[in-house]
Copies of this chain bind each other. A is one copy, B any other.
Amino acid sequence: MTETKNPARRIRLGMVGGGQGAFIGAVHRIAARLDDRYELVAGALSSKPDIARASAAELFIAPDRSYDSFADMAKQEAAREDGIDACAIVTPNHLHFPAAMAMLDAGIHVICDKPLCLNVEEAELLAAKVRETGLLFALTHNYTAYPMVREARQMVRDGKLGDIRLVQVEYPQGWMATRVEDTDNKQAHWRADPAKAGMGGALGDIGTHAHNLADFVTGLEISELCADIDAIVPGRKLDDNVQILLRYDNGARGMLWASQVAIGHENGLRLRVYGDKGGIEWAQEHPNHLHFRPLDGRPELMTRGGAGIGSAGLRGVRVPPGHPEGYLEGFANLYTDFADQLIARITNGKADPASMLIPGINEGVKGMKFVEAVVRSSQRGAVWVSF
């Protein structure tokens, strides 16, 4: 269990996008809070000023640091003594480029959601700017930050798999199997719109994750590829199914499949890598497990924090083996539900009845009675006792 040591002060964070109704912005905020190294102090949370302001208030951002545009935020924060150190960009794809440029120009470090931008031209302009300014830039290919993925990468580097021969990576989802972009599904709208998503649909949204994950773990470079991408759902403007044959620079072969019309899959990112000494498999939906299959040995289950995990895989581990990542969220649910009760009490309001699900003093008394009854039964020779 590591709650990492805190620095002298928290990093001051700004955010572009992520106002009410957004998905990934909230994820970024929780991620920033988890280890208590950031405080969110400024935001251009929406292009609609009233939504921006209301969202900021909910997030304890001071009114004067809620901005109507990212350009204003960059300029004004750069001018403050206590201005933001870094800015998270969590908008649809097409705004990544201008927002990131504005921050870099203002001397602010950037955390940007993926994919980086709309095309290679924008990407190279950004790369030049990062080099020129010397600022830090993080791209949230979050799947590379699971402990067992980092362990997998280290195993490849340590030669545990030998020379890599085959890469199989897939990322099936099913949620766009129908014309969800014609419904009020906000996530689908921009993803299916070339003006906002760029030239790739499933390709940009999840194909880039699959590509990045395989790159990260194997350390190989693709030398050639042959791709067949299609809009399977009639009338869709961007691809929703991606099939690629890969050839790597060391001669290895690979296949990549990404789909948003594979009904029944929720978020099925899965990587398999095979070398001449062994193979590994990791699936995002069970991220605490890494399967290692050595040549001539038995398949081994490697677990986060479990037997024989090296330093790469131990970094970023917060809970013990067998407590799945997610244990923290369960714990947080208790705290949050209890907060509802407390707030109701403090404000003379009414607690949400659902918050009453959290265990309290009665459950505690009952637990003690249970312990005593068990001990009593066992001490008397394991006989029945009433409870």
Contact = CB atoms under 8 A, between A and B. Distances in A.
29 contacts: A27-B318, A34-B34, A85-B342, A111-B335, A115-B364, A120-B369, A122-B368, A130-B360, A138-B358, A142-B327, A145-B333, A145-B337, A166-B262, A168-B257, A178-B295, A211-B367, A226-B228, A228-B245, A243-B255, A245-B245, A262-B272, A264-B291, A265-B293, A266-B303, A288-B326, A300-B300, A324-B326, A325-B330, A383-B384
A31 to B, nearest CB: 4
Contact of A279 (B221, B242, B262, B288): B262
B1 A23 contact: yes
Contact of A306 (B37, B266, B378, B385): B266
Given A85-B342, A144-B357, A378-B227, A299 B297 contact: no
A130 B363 CA distance: 13
Interface stretch (A43-51, A62-70, A72-80, A343-351): A343-351
Contacts of A378: 227-229, 239
A227 B382 contact: yes
Nearest to A117: B368
Contacts of A288: 285, 326
A182 interface: no
Interface string A157-177: 000000001101010011001
Given A253-B243, A263-B279, A326 B323 contact: no
Complex copy number for this chain: 4
Contact of A267 (B28, B33, B116, B322): B322
Nearest to A376: B227
Contacts of A336: 4, 34-35, 37, 316
Contacts of A295: 174, 177-178, 263
A324 B286 contact: yes
A375 B204 CA distance: 10
A127 B245 contact: no
